[in-house]
């Protein structure tokens, strides 16, 4: 099998990490133990899959000579075993190729989710509210935590915009392909003629930046405080707990009024600010890589229409991969797994093609 030497090296490293995790000196050093444990967990899946391949390959080698046995019953059993093992081994090898692809270093990160109503007036704000609920329910099924940092309601009860922090296990890896323009086609509640209208919302998914990755100098920011407000602008409380942070060099403005504590709002706003600045730096890096490479990793360009939600036909279509599902009602309830899996498979396949082209060159 291709890459077998590399897989042998990975297995040896995994076994060494196993020994380190049992070492009293490592156990006593919490920082070192976390580092070793993380490396161990990162290799566990690929080593388990490689060991499955070795077991299946060994069983296949033992079964093939039995195809020449004189006993018809033994030949039949051997033929069944070969027929079972050959496709299994081929599938394991395909899985290993994907597992050996370079990992996206951002996949483990939490995200800042930003949703804004686009074209379509009040109908767009209602859809923005539904899209946010869709992601919130998806997050709930994953055991993730959703914290709203700021939101702005419309007169009809929709959302003009909302920003939320989503934290959990591998959040960015699941949501990174959701960035872009989401279009809805349906008959609005206010439509008297029964005509289908088209509206849109934009979704941004920003990997949350650590403090060590994006350092924000105190002299580069201005912090203003104000009273939290609700629909229509009325004051929710009389204390100046809401926070607005302006990053002076870039003009980036972040607000947070979700918490009653000014300190908590400031901490959340800084997390959002760092993530927005981090996105700018990532975009600069991707611009250097080039358009072709960006399409492989998914640029998250907000101007790109990525998906259409057609309510009359209960249909959702992802235009990037031509994937359609006639289960819109379930998707809006947060059942996004078919799209997450299809998009992940598509972009992994593209990376495999790119890798093969590079090796052939």
For the chain, what is the mean pLDDT? 86
Collapsed DSSP state (helix, strand, coil) of residue 226: strand
Domain boundary among 70, 99, 128: 99
Pick from 75-79, 179-183, 259-263: least confident: 259-263
Task: Please give the pLDDT value at position 225.
Answer: 83
Task: Please count the structural domains in the chain.
Answer: 2
- CATH number (domain holding residue 236): 3.30.70.1660
Per the structure, the complete domain to which residue 87 belongs is given by 4-99
Whether 76 and 150 share a structural domain: no
Tokens representing residue 61 in the block: 């080698």
- Please report which residue ranges of the chain form alpha helices under DSSP H: 4-21, 24-28, 30-63, 72-99, 121-142, 171-175, 262-289, 291-297, 328-331, 337-360
Neighbour count for residue 90 (Cβ, 10 Å): 10
Collapsed DSSP state (helix, strand, coil) of residue 199: strand
Whether 259 and 302 share a structural domain: yes
Whether 271 and 136 share a structural domain: yes
Q: Is the per-residue pLDDT at 294 higher than 70?
A: no
- CATH number (domain holding residue 57): 1.20.58
Q: Which range in 32-41, 96-105, 294-303 is most confidently predicted, on average pLDDT?
A: 32-41
Tokens representing residue 303 in the block: 């101007």
For the stretch 25-83, pLDDT in tens is: 999 999 899 899 989 988 999 999 999 999 999 999 999 999 998 999 999 999 999 99
In the chain, the largest separation of any two C-alpha atoms, in whole Å, equals: 92
Distances (CA, A) of 350 to 101, 304, 340: 11, 19, 16
Q: Is the per-residue pLDDT at 123 higher than 80?
A: yes
Task: Please give the pLDDT value at position 277.
Answer: 87
Who wins on pLDDT, 144 or 272?
A: 144
Task: Please give the pLDDT value at position 292.
Answer: 38
Tokens representing residue 15 in the block: 């076994």
Does residue 61 lie in a domain region? Answer: yes
Does residue 326 lie in a domain region? Answer: yes
Bridge partners of residue 242, in order along the sequence: 226
β-bridge pairing 180-186 and 159-167: unpaired
Does residue 104 lie in a domain region? Answer: no
Bridge partners of residue 147, in order along the sequence: 165
Tokens representing residue 143 in the block: 């055991």
State mean pLDDT over 158-183.
93
For the stretch 302-347, pLDDT in tens is: 456 899 999 999 999 999 999 999 999 999 999 999 999 999 989 8
Task: Please give the pLDDT value at position 334.
Answer: 96
Does residue 356 lie in a domain region? Answer: no
Domain boundary among 78, 99, 120: 99
Q: What is the DSSP string of 312-361?
A: TTTEEEETTTTEEES-HHHHTTT--HHHHHHHHHHHHHHHHHHHHHHHH-
Identify which of 100, 146, 91 has the alpha carbon closest to the alpha carbon of residue 355: 100
- Could you report how far apart the first and last alpha carbons of the chain are, in Å? 21
Does residue 105 lie in a domain region? Answer: no
The answer to whether residues 241 and 228 touch, using CB atoms and an 8 Å cutoff, is yes
Who wins on pLDDT, 66 or 278?
A: 66
Whether 80 and 201 share a structural domain: no
State mean pLDDT over 243-250.
89
Provide the percentage of residues in the chain whose pLDDT is more than 90: 51
Q: Is the per-residue pLDDT at 296 higher than 60?
A: no
Helix (H) or strand (E) holding 223: strand 221-226
Task: Please give the pLDDT value at position 302.
Answer: 42
Model confidence at 354, pLDDT cuts 50, 70, 90, reads: confident
> What torsion do the CA atoms of 47, 17, 111, 272 make, to the nearest 10 degrees?
-160
Q: Is the per-residue pLDDT at 210 higher than 50?
A: yes
Instruction: Give CA–CA dist 46/30, Å, rounded.
Output: 26
Tokens representing residue 130 in the block: 């539904």
Does residue 106 lie in a domain region? Answer: no
| DSSP symbol at 103 | P
Whether 19 and 136 share a structural domain: no
Pick from 28-37, 132-141, 190-199, 219-228: least confident: 190-199
Does residue 355 lie in a domain region? Answer: no
Pick from 154-168, 196-210, 276-290: least confident: 276-290
- Kindly report the three-state secondary structure assignment for every residue of 142-179: HCCEEEEEEEEECCCCCEEEEEEEEECCCHHHHHHHHC
Whether 119 and 41 share a structural domain: no
Task: Please give the pLDDT value at position 192.
Answer: 65
Whether 85 and 189 share a structural domain: no
Task: Please give the pLDDT value at position 358.
Answer: 66
Whether 341 and 266 share a structural domain: yes
Does residue 95 lie in a domain region? Answer: yes
Identify which of 264, 260, 273, 88 has the alpha carbon closest to the alpha carbon of residue 163: 273
Task: Please give the pLDDT value at position 352.
Answer: 83
Whether 93 and 204 share a structural domain: no
Q: What is the DSSP string of 61-76?
A: HHHGGGGG-S-HHHHH
Q: Is the per-residue pLDDT at 279 higher than 90?
A: no
Whether 119 and 168 share a structural domain: yes
Task: Please give the pLDDT value at position 181.
Answer: 93
Instruction: Give CA–CA dist 241/266, Å, rounded.
Output: 9
Task: Please give the pLDDT value at position 97.
Answer: 86
Whether 49 and 155 share a structural domain: no
The answer to whether residues 145 and 269 touch, using CB atoms and an 8 Å cutoff, is no
Whether 85 and 122 share a structural domain: no
Domain boundary among 99, 122, 137: 99
């Amino acid at each position: 099998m291709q890459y077998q030497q590399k897989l042998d090296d990975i297995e040896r490293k995994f076994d060494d990490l196993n020994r380190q995790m049992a070492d009293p000196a490592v156990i006593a050093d919490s920082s070192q133990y976390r580092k070793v444990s993380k490396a161990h967990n990162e290799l566990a899946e690929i080593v388990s899959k490689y060991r499955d391949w070795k077991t299946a390959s060994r069983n296949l080698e033992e079964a093939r000579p039995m195809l020449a046995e004189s006993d018809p019953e033994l030949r039949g059993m051997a033929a069944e075993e070969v027929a079972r093992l050959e496709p299994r081994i081929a599938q394991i090898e395909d899985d290993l190729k994907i597992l050996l692809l370079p990992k996206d270093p951002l996949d483990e990160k939490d995200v800042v989710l930003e949703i804004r109503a686009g074209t379509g007036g009040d109908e767009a704000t209602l859809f923005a509210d539904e899209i946010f609920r869709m992601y919130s329910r998806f997050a709930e099924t994953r055991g993730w935590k959703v914290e709203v940092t700021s939101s702005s309601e419309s007169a009809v009860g929709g959302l003009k915009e909302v920003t939320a922090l989503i934290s959990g296990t591998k959040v960015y890896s699941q949501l990174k392909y959701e960035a872009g323009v989401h279009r809805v086609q349906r008959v609005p509640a206010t439509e008297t003629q029964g005509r289908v209208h088209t509206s849109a919302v934009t979704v941004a998914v920003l990997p949350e930046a650590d403090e060590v990755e994006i350092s924000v100098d105190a002299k580069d920011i201005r912090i203003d405080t104000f009273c939290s407000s609700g629909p229509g602008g009325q004051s929710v409380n009389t204390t100046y707990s809401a926070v607005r942070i302006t990053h002076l060099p870039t003009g980036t403005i972040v607000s947070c009024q979700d918490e009653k504590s000014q300190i908590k709002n400031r901490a959340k706003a800084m997390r959002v600010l760092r993530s927005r600045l981090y996105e700018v730096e990532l975009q600069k890096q991707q611009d250097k890589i080039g358009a072709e490479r960006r399409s492989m990793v998914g640029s998250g360009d907000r101007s790109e229409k990525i998906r259409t939600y057609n309510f009359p036909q209960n249909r959702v279509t992802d235009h990037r991969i031509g994937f359609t599902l006639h289960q819109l009602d379930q998707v809006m309830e947060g059942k996004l797994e078919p799209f997450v899996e299809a998009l992940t498979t598509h972009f992994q396949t593209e990376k495999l093609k790119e890798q093969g082209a590079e090796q052939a060159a």
